[in-house]
Each structure stands twice: as C-alpha cells, then as structure tokens.
Structure 1
C-alpha cells in the first residue's frame, strides 16, 4: 500500500476518534431537558453576552480565546452532531454553550458576566442556573444577583 494511502487512512481514523471523543464528552456534559429549553430561550442574550465577553480585554486571555472559538463554532454551518438527529441534533450547540459558559464564569468571575449581561434580571437568574452558579443573594426585599 502506498504511503499516502496509509497517511490518509491514519488521518481519517484520527478524525473519527476525535469526533467520538467529542460526542462522548457532549453526552456526559448534557444538561437536563429543562435546562436545554432555558438555554434556547436565552439564546439571543447569550450570543450578545458571549460577544461582549470575548471583546473584553480585562478578562484573561484563555477565556477570550475560548469564547472566540465558541463563537466561531456557532458560526460554522456544520455541527458535531447533524441537525437531523432528533433532540441531540439541535442540542449540541446548547450543550457546548453551557459548558463554555460554566468554564467562563468559573474563570472570569460572576462580576464580569453580570457586567456584560444584556438581558433582564430573570434572564440572568436563568443563566446562573444553567452555569451552575450559587443561588441569588436574598437581601430581604427580593432575590437577585447584584449588578456590577
């Protein structure tokens, strides 16, 4: 067998293994059905938040790179899981956004995310649930996340 066939087969096998690993990671990190519905409802505000966070030079470089890669992934026309596959076809984008968002909040902090949030307080509370943040501060009058 020619060397270029062996190389081509090796590259195809490596890509298949990477795809299987990413698919497995998605299935492990998959949030519940109600969380997916919340994420889809918040999508416009989430996209604005991600864009604002990616452009914020005060955040760590790793966070900005991660957010830039996420925005690039969301912009490309193909997905890890094709959209014709029921449930997971459309959910893969939401799962990846939630995973990156959790990582961003843990690394950049709640204040940075709150500062850039374009939506309502109720929307931010839903975002906090998706990102696994602690419950809102209860100051006796209402329960909300303080604005930075």
Structure 2
C-alpha cells in the first residue's frame, strides 16, 4: 500500500511540476501568435465568467458561452490534450464558435470589455462588424 501512495504522490508532483514549467515557458514567449495561442484558453475562461454575469447578454448567448466553458473544463475531449500542438485544437474551435455566436447576439463593446487579452485577437475572431443595409433614397 505504501509503494502505491509513493507512486501516486510522485506522479502528482511530476504533473504539477510540468504545469509549472509550461506556465513559465508560456510567459517567456515573445509577443506574437504563439503567445496569443498560449493565452487563448485562459482568456476564454475569463471571458465566459464575465459574460455569464453580465445582464446585457441574452440567455441564448449565455447558454452557448457556458457550454463552451464546460467543454474547455471537461477532461473528455475529441482530441486528447497530451498530443502536442493539436491537443487543445478542439477546445479552441468550440470556444471560437461559441464566441462568434455570442458576437451576433451581444453588442461588440460588451464582448470586447469582457475579453482580458489583446482586443485585436477578439476583433479577428468576431470578424467585421455587421452593418445594417441601407436603402437608397427613392428617386422622384
């Protein structure tokens, strides 16, 4: 029994150490696309938390955002997280789709205020702002 506990404790310590090393390595990344990708999922979690509490967000958008947050937090994934580079890909796609859906339901300034990361990344994710079609004045 004691050997089993030693192995379990060692495995847990190695897991925590690997997380700490990954966080330290992510902080050392130079500004650019890699740093943005490393911060994407934590920024999404913060955005989900902020939008969930915002009264200006409609219920349908809240449901989509919360579902995306649960997807990210869930240990069950379509692509296992331990695969390098493509592991978090399913999380990123689900969150991006949920935020784009919310972007159609929620005013853009509310989404940008909830996003803790680089606003240009959120602007790029949401796409161009929709403009209402204008009708030409009637000709006499």
Coarse TM-score class (shorter-chain normalised): 0.5 to 0.7
- Which deviations, in whole Å up to 9, do the C-alpha atoms of 1:31-85 show, x marking residues without a partner? xxx9787444333222211210122122110001111111111111110222345
What runs of 5+ residues in structure 2 fail to find an aligned partner? 1-31, 130-140
Provide TM-score, normalisation by structure 2: 0.58
TM-score scaled by structure 1? 0.55
The corresponding residue for 2:52 is: 54
Count of aligned pairs: 98
Residues of 2 paired with 1:114 and 1:51: CA distance?
A: 14
RMSD between aligned alpha carbons? Answer: 2.4
2:107 maps to which of 89, 106, 109: 109
Contact 2:112 2:122 in 1 (8 A): no
Larger radius of gyration: 2
Distance in 2 of aligned mates of 1:94 and 1:56: 23
Question: For 1:89, which of 87, 90, 98 is the aligned residue?
Answer: 87
Residue of structure 2 equivalent to 1:138: none
